A and B are shown apart, each in its own frame.
Chain A
């Protein structure tokens, strides 16, 4: 059974640009959550998608958005990049997620560097 796949693994972007990250969950998992991890703030929840709908949302500005497709694959978009957006972006998949979610499986992450 394949794990959670995130692409690309590494990305360098310039301030002001936008970026799209991709996450393919474990087959059969319908919940995909996105996280930002930085040395200064630790691991922070961005949002969760379930059945193509954003179900839960953390405290990030509107520049951070996402979507989920009918095959449960998810994309995350960050517009008007700032230097502070440099981070490891992780996605996690689970069977149901949300209120009832217990175990989540993380991908290896996308390391985004904004210059």
Chain B
């Protein structure tokens, strides 16, 4: 069956450390993968997109990797801050259609001062 798995337990880290979140998928062949941030009661906010032929993408303190062999993406936040506390969603996108996104359940990140 098709699955997208993100760490179901909350990730607690100390301010200033690097947070690493994982997204694994099974029986999908995405053309790209996106990471979103969601705060309670709010809509997802786009962070980064990485294509299947890209290994790594960076934006400021954010880095995402994509390994289509392992069927895994890693999302890193360096020098984390309490303001980074939120739920982070990975979403798979596909070519040949109108680009619906299939979301994982998300990982809650808590950054403690």
Partners in one complex: no
B interface residues with partner A (beta carbon < 8 Å): none
